[in-house]
Amino acid sequence: MTKTIKRLMLGSIIAVSPLLGFNTAYAGGIFDNHAYVVDASGTLVRDGSGKCIRTGSWGDSVHFLAECGDAVEQPAEAPAPAAPPKGPQAPAIRAVLQTDAYFDFDKAILRPEGKAKLDEFVGKMQEYTQVDVLLVTGHTDRIGTDAYNMRLSQRRADAVKAYMVSKGVGSQRIETAAKGESEPVMECSHIKGRENRHNQALIDCLAPNRRVNVEAKVQRETR
């Protein structure tokens, strides 16, 4: 009777031993941070269908094995950052620092409002050292002949350039252009009466056209 019990106990221990061995290998695989369970000899442990058994750290591991059918599951490499564009870029201060310098009717003398805006512009120029050339473009309203307005718009552009030079901007960095009355920002078609210096309502309405635009024309290549 005693011998029978001993045989049963011994058989039970032998039957349980493979399970203990499996659990030991599984725990060892997790502890070693390996993607797959291996036995004491380093051999991959497979389930009943022949598939490799993954450890809990499989998802974070880079040890994917083709023999386990997982080679295609390698994490995709992060795309390389795009190289910055080369060559000259769009003028850095075209939209940001464009300014209107208003003038009185038939005058090429900067008004205080125009000087204030240009003072701000000149201060901002210190932040845009890559700008080599500024374009100063003069404009007029439509009252007067085309030829006269073209000359007047040039005088206005020259007045703005002179003011900026007096504030420290190198004259070699400034070019001027005259547009006359060709690019109005206000039409004022609702104002009645003759288009002459006696129509004060029209003169007041057309004031935004008496301006000078300042913008970057040429800037050095940025890298």
Has residue 20 been placed in a domain? yes
Rounded Cα gap, residues 66 and 144, in angstroms: 85
Has residue 164 been placed in a domain? yes
CB-CB neighbours of 17 under 10 Å: 10
Has residue 84 been placed in a domain? no
Residue 215's domain is classified under what CATH number? 3.30.1330.60
Strands (E), the chain: 131-138, 174-178, 212-219
CB-CB neighbours of 137 under 10 Å: 21
- Domain ranges, residue 179: 112-219
Has residue 213 been placed in a domain? yes
- In this structure, the answer to whether residues 141 and 212 fall within a common structural domain is yes
Q: Give me the number of domains the chain comprises.
A: 2
Has residue 100 been placed in a domain? no
- In this structure, the answer to whether residues 63 and 127 fall within a common structural domain is no
Per-residue pLDDT of the chain (223 residues; tens, 9 = 90+): 544 444 444 444 434 434 333 333 333 433 344 677 777 666 777 777 777 877 766 665 556 666 776 654 445 566 666 665 555 555 545 433 557 778 999 999 999 988 998 998 888 887 787 888 899 999 999 999 999 999 999 999 999 999 999 999 999 999 999 999 999 999 999 999 999 999 999 999 999 999 999 988 887 765 5
Has residue 212 been placed in a domain? yes
Has residue 183 been placed in a domain? yes
- The sign of the torsion formed by the CA atoms of 124, 126, 130, 136 equals positive
Domain stops at, among 18, 47, 73 = 73
